[in-house]
Chains A and B, each alone.
Chain A
Amino acid sequence: MIKHDIVIVGGGPAGMAAAVAAYDRGVTDVVIIDREDTPGGILRQCIHNGFGLHKLGQELTGPEYATVYAVKVAERGIKVYTGTTVLSVTQDRIVTATGREGIVQIQAGAVVLTMGCRERSRGALNTPGTRPAGVFSAGTAQKLINIDGYMPGKKAVILGSGDIGLIMARRMTLEGAKVEAVCEIMPYSGGLTRNIVQCLEDYDIPLYLGTTVVEIHGKKRLEGVTIAQVDENRREIPDTRRYIECDTLLLSVGLVPENELTIAAGISMDRVTGGAIVDENCHTEISGIFARGNVLHVHDLVDYVSDEAERAGCGAADYVKNGVQAGEYIPVKAVGGVRYVIPQHINRNATGEISLFMRVAQPSGKARITARQGETILATATKLKTAPGEMEKLIIRPGLLGTGEITVEIEQL
């Protein structure tokens, strides 16, 4: 069995940022394992710009952003096993992986899980109708166009107004396809405002809110979809059906953290985020296994992924150097209008700034988000508006942490 101090599972932006941070913290025996032949993860197919504004102070495309980190990885001589898929991770940190050279087992000092997320499929939506070709997840279509160089269709309807759906509406249009509509089941879009403007409005693509695809038609290739409006319980409103002829249906209906390895390793999961339960250092409940990036919770901006993953890298490096940090854990709870908060618990002896990440349950106007511990306000921020599509962040300054449960809630102003 091979040994490495830190094994990073997944070479996307989170994995690379974690590797670099761990290295810079003084643990140099770090390896990254990625199933693709080039690291970079999903960024490799995101050829639009808008990456790096927060983190790098410049606007880059996905591949450019990935390259910035790939260069940092290469400069440090961090080994990347490409074309290699991790098959399992055990609680005593044995990582089994397979690649064209064979199956290897690595005993890791610490493991950082950065496997990212995947898209929900048509099956999961259970949309009635036939099962023809021409129904793609938006990311699959994006890969076909941007990596493989093939158009998936000529006339498209897009279900879901999350960022990938919006970006793909523009992409399909730019490549000569007609995008008939973007349908969103919720009464609001799940995407960033800038994407709604730049991807739909600039191209006169209609966005139908409170609308979904209720039936899929076509024998061999998609011939059309029936759309209909839904009520607040997402139930179809009678007499609102409409047929749209199209040969392509792109689904952008949500991302699911890809936690098969995490679950198989017996790591405790958060049912709301679909990711592991972690502390402020991204440490899961299994000693020496850390998780960050979209595998922990789905982000809207890669900049935050990199930022947070650095914490995981540092956490793993500290673990390798010093072992587990002693101290009791304080639970962090999402209440009143906040869907979830990460981390789910914080070590009482944590030093330095602690960042809390959260999503709200409903869109709202002006609101205040507050983290409290008993009577003490640990952190608070006022927002002009909030939306489930935009992640919020609070920072607890050093020295404020006391005892007892922390709650995070939102109040309308």
Chain B
Amino acid sequence: MERYDVLIAGAGVTGGMIARELSRYNLSVCLLEKENDVACGATKANSGIIHGGHDPVPGTLKARLNAIGNPMLFEACRQLNVPHRRNESMVCAFGPDEEPAVDRLYQRGLENGIEGLEVITGDMARQLEPALSTQITKALLIKNSGIVCPYSLTIAAVGNAMDNGVTLKRNFEINKIEKTDGLFTVCSANGETVQGEYLINCAGCAADKIAAMAGDGFYTINPRAGEYMLMDKSEGGRVSRTIFQTPGKEGKGILVTPTVHGNLLTGPTAQAVDSGDSTFTSAQQLEKIQRLAAKSVPGVNFRQVITSFSGVRSSVDGGDFIIRMSDKVEKFAHVAAIDSPGLTCCVSIAVYVVDMLAQAGLKLTEKENWNGTREDPLAFSKMDMDQKNKVIAENPAYGKIVCRCETITEGEIMESLTRQPVALDLDGVKRRTRSGMGRCQGGFCSPYIMKLIAQHTGTDMTAVTKNGGSSYIAVHKL
């Protein structure tokens, strides 16, 4: 049986970043993920905001990890070549009733030790962002906040961890955990087993189930879905900053933000759902997004929507992250209830967890040859014409455009199939290359990409899936 020093349950941004952090040391680490790819949980579908840190209640773990995590994440994005931008954000008040909320958030930000906060008038806000509603009377400007592509970040973190020796097992849905002689034996739904001395639970919405399996299920995750609408790039320039509303009776409010890829994102809503898999959208919520987004930025053209989607928060009563060693099960670490601002905190959580494991007895000796950087997967697209022609001369596949909406070449698709963590399905290729993310949403390129996947893996087109499991695309050969 395979045996590791550390097992990590869940390859979202939390598990992925912890894996990368652990890969610095002489340890054997294995990341266990139930899906066919990394970043398929909350990490796939969220706002992608690197929060400034003004929002969490002072004194909480969230407040602390956000404050230190913000600059740490910017640094990691640079090392890992992940698309990100410090685009600043604003929390807007609509009229005198909401204005005190802006002042409260400002005070809270100061208490949390956040720099670069400024309270501005509605007119100043509109000077910075001319598309803002005339109803906005006051705003909090947050200069240290930014945007990042959350799944690119996780793919890069896991890829970098793998380059430094970490193992990733996919389609490994943990359904049993035993502990004997100081060793965890972890079994998957399809009968695989691995052993490890330490087990870190980063299973997102399923963290309560994993904790219960390990014998310390003291919390319940209350999954809360958030729906979004993503607009074509033609809407991407509507605003430059992320525009929040003050928290009100309809939750934290709907934001309007550019994405690092140049689209415009609106959402999220907030409603209780059954599980982390409840990622459906509903007419009612999509209607609400349009109404509330238009409140901040009246000009948003919702006819330019290219897709809608939903992500599920792994919230708990009390609201703070649960990050601690188990009181009951030795060497079992809870990293649970990582809802917003979990993405922002991924690096600070990882460092915090590794410290915690060290205190619990994990021996950390640094690798001599650890390399924390990862080559830019978008390198080709950033080249000038002469450089591109050199690459094409060596590998003509880089001359062939496969995805016309996003201008992605066959060479880049092949890269996504060969570079760790390799893409195994259409969605995996899409997240790594952006092929199929444009306005035609894969209508033209998906058959061609299916063919490339089939050729590369030596299977038939009928074995190619959208996202693993039974998500096959072609049912039989004619």
Give the distance to chain A from B207, nearest Cβ to Cβ, in Å: 21
B400 and A126 form a contact (CB under 8 A): no
| B461 at interface, CB cutoff 8 A | yes
A99 and B305 form a contact (CB under 8 A): no
Task: Give chain A interface residues in 84-120, CB to chain B under 8 Å.
Answer: 85, 87, 96, 98-103, 118-119
Binds B, one of A56-64, A151-159, A374-382, A402-410: A151-159
Interface size on A, residues (CB 8 A): 49
Known: A128-B286, A129-B280. A150 touches B478 (CB 8 A): yes
Contact partner of B277 (CB less than 8 A), chosen from A118, A140, A219, A247, is A219
Task: Give chain A interface residues in 124-160, CB to chain B under 8 Å.
Answer: 124, 126, 128-134, 136-137, 139-140, 143-145, 147-154
| Interface residues as binary, B253-293 with A (CB distance below 8 Å gives 1, 0 otherwise) | 00000000000000000000000010111110010000000
A133 and B465 form a contact (CB under 8 A): yes
A151 and B478 form a contact (CB under 8 A): yes
Known: A118-B443, A118-B444. A220 touches B469 (CB 8 A): yes
B467 and A101 form a contact (CB under 8 A): no
Give the distance to chain A from B249, nearest Cβ to Cβ, in Å: 24
How far is it, in angstroms, between the C-alpha of A219 and the C-alpha of B274 when the chains are bound?
14
| Interface residues as binary, A219-247 with B (CB distance below 8 Å gives 1, 0 otherwise) | 11100000000000000100000000001
B306 and A124 form a contact (CB under 8 A): yes
| A175 at interface, CB cutoff 8 A | yes
A152 and B475 form a contact (CB under 8 A): yes
How far is it, in angstroms, between the C-alpha of A215 and the C-alpha of B285 when the chains are bound?
13
| A214 at interface, CB cutoff 8 A | yes
Q: Which of B281, B399, B476 has the largest number of chain A CB atoms within 10 A?
A: B399
Q: Chain A residues with Cβ under 8 A from B468's Cβ?
A: 220
B447 and A149 form a contact (CB under 8 A): no
| B358 at interface, CB cutoff 8 A | no
Q: Chain A residues with Cβ under 8 A from B440's Cβ?
A: 118-119, 121, 137
B400 and A129 form a contact (CB under 8 A): no
| B324 at interface, CB cutoff 8 A | no
| Interface residues as binary, B466-477 with A (CB distance below 8 Å gives 1, 0 otherwise) | 111111111111
SS class of chain B's interface: helix, strand, loop or mixed?
A: mixed
Q: Chain A residues with Cβ under 8 A from B462's Cβ?
A: 150
Binds A, one of B93-101, B159-167, B329-337, B386-394: B386-394
Give the distance to chain A from B473, nearest Cβ to Cβ, in Å: 5
How far is it, in angstroms, between the C-alpha of A109 and the C-alpha of B329 when the chains are bound?
77
How far is it, in angstroms, between the C-alpha of A85 and the C-alpha of B404 when the chains are bound?
8
Known: A99-B399, A123-B305, A131-B279. A143 touches B473 (CB 8 A): no
| B446 at interface, CB cutoff 8 A | yes
| B401 at interface, CB cutoff 8 A | yes
How far is it, in angstroms, between the C-alpha of A250 and the C-alpha of B478 when the chains are bound?
19
How far is it, in angstroms, between the C-alpha of A153 and the C-alpha of B440 when the chains are bound?
21
Q: Chain B residues with Cβ under 8 A from A133's Cβ?
A: 465-467, 471-473
Q: Chain B residues with Cβ under 8 A from A124's Cβ?
A: 305-306, 439, 441
| A122 at interface, CB cutoff 8 A | yes
Give the distance to chain A from B468, nearest Cβ to Cβ, in Å: 7
Q: Chain B residues with Cβ under 8 A from A215's Cβ?
A: 283
How far is it, in angstroms, between the C-alpha of A315 and the C-alpha of B303 when the chains are bound?
35
Give the distance to chain A from B427, nearest Cβ to Cβ, in Å: 9
Interface size on B, residues (CB 8 A): 53
How far is it, in angstroms, between the C-alpha of A99 and the C-alpha of B309 when the chains are bound?
35
B443 and A139 form a contact (CB under 8 A): yes
A150 and B281 form a contact (CB under 8 A): no
| A337 at interface, CB cutoff 8 A | no
Q: Chain B residues with Cβ under 8 A from A126's Cβ?
A: 229, 286, 305, 308
Task: Give chain B interface residues in 173-200, CB to chain A under 8 Å.
Answer: none
| B379 at interface, CB cutoff 8 A | no
Q: Chain B residues with Cβ under 8 A from A145's Cβ?
A: 478
| A83 at interface, CB cutoff 8 A | yes
Give the distance to chain B from A57, nearest Cβ to Cβ, in Å: 33
| A35 at interface, CB cutoff 8 A | yes
| Interface residues as binary, A301-332 with B (CB distance below 8 Å gives 1, 0 otherwise) | 00000000000000000000000000000000
| Interface residues as binary, B220-245 with A (CB distance below 8 Å gives 1, 0 otherwise) | 00000000011000000000000000
Q: Chain A residues with Cβ under 8 A from B126's Cβ?
A: none
Q: Chain B residues with Cβ under 8 A from A260's Cβ?
A: 405
Give the distance to chain B from A45, nearest Cβ to Cβ, in Å: 10
B396 and A144 form a contact (CB under 8 A): no
Known: A118-B443, A145-B478, A221-B472. A123 touches B306 (CB 8 A): yes
Give the distance to chain A from B258, nearest Cβ to Cβ, in Å: 18
How far is it, in angstroms, between the C-alpha of A139 and the C-alpha of B467 when the chains are bound?
22
A140 and B446 form a contact (CB under 8 A): yes
How far is it, in angstroms, between the C-alpha of A363 and the C-alpha of B469 when the chains are bound?
46
| B397 at interface, CB cutoff 8 A | yes
Q: Chain B residues with Cβ under 8 A from A139's Cβ?
A: 443
B399 and A150 form a contact (CB under 8 A): no
B399 and A221 form a contact (CB under 8 A): no
B306 and A132 form a contact (CB under 8 A): no
Considering only CB atoms, which chain B residue lies closest to A138 in the complex? B443
How far is it, in angstroms, between the C-alpha of A139 and the C-alpha of B441 when the chains are bound?
13
A151 and B447 form a contact (CB under 8 A): no
| B307 at interface, CB cutoff 8 A | yes
Known: A130-B279, A145-B478, A149-B478. A101 touches B229 (CB 8 A): no
| B1 at interface, CB cutoff 8 A | no
How far is it, in angstroms, between the C-alpha of A388 and the C-alpha of B447 when the chains are bound?
32
Q: Chain B residues with Cβ under 8 A from A152's Cβ?
A: 473-475
How far is it, in angstroms, between the C-alpha of A260 and the C-alpha of B406 when the chains are bound?
11
Contact partner of A220 (CB less than 8 A), chosen from B401, B405, B471, is B471
A103 and B475 form a contact (CB under 8 A): no
Q: Chain A residues with Cβ under 8 A from B441's Cβ?
A: 121-124
How far is it, in angstroms, between the C-alpha of A140 and the C-alpha of B441 when the chains are bound?
11
Known: A103-B385, A119-B440. A144 touches B474 (CB 8 A): yes
How far is it, in angstroms, between the C-alpha of A131 and the C-alpha of B471 when the chains are bound?
10
B476 and A102 form a contact (CB under 8 A): no
Contact partner of B443 (CB less than 8 A), chosen from A96, A121, A148, A150, is A121
A98 and B475 form a contact (CB under 8 A): no
Known: A100-B392, A103-B399, A139-B443. A151 touches B473 (CB 8 A): no
Give the distance to chain A from B269, nearest Cβ to Cβ, in Å: 12
How far is it, in angstroms, between the C-alpha of A66 and the C-alpha of B373 when the chains are bound?
51
Q: Chain B residues with Cβ under 8 A from A131's Cβ?
A: 279, 309
Q: Chain A residues with Cβ under 8 A from B308's Cβ?
A: 123, 126, 128
Task: Give chain B interface residues in 377-425, CB to chain A under 8 Å.
Answer: 385, 388-389, 392-393, 396-397, 399-401, 404-405, 407, 409
Considering only CB atoms, which chain B residue lies closest to A139 in the complex? B443
How far is it, in angstroms, between the C-alpha of A99 and the C-alpha of B441 when the chains are bound?
23
Q: Which 3 residue pairs are nearest across A and B when measured between Cβ atoms?
A: A123-B307, A150-B474, A100-B396
Can you sample 26 A-B contacts with CB below 8 Å? Answer: A83-B400, A85-B407, A101-B392, A103-B392, A118-B439, A118-B440, A118-B443, A121-B307, A121-B441, A121-B442, A121-B443, A129-B280, A133-B472, A140-B446, A145-B478, A147-B447, A150-B476, A151-B477, A152-B475, A175-B478, A214-B283, A215-B283, A220-B467, A220-B468, A220-B470, A221-B471
Known A85-B401, A103-B385, A121-B439; further 12 A-B contacts with Cβ < 8 A: A98-B401, A99-B400, A100-B400, A103-B399, A123-B230, A124-B439, A130-B279, A133-B466, A151-B478, A152-B473, A153-B475, A175-B478
Chain B interface residues (CB < 8 Å from chain A): 229-230, 277, 279-283, 286, 305-309, 385, 388-389, 392-393, 396-397, 399-401, 404-405, 407, 409, 439-444, 446-447, 451, 461-462, 465-478
Chain A interface residues (CB < 8 Å from chain B): 35, 83, 85, 87, 96, 98-103, 118-119, 121-124, 126, 128-134, 136-137, 139-140, 143-145, 147-154, 175, 214-215, 219-221, 236, 247, 260
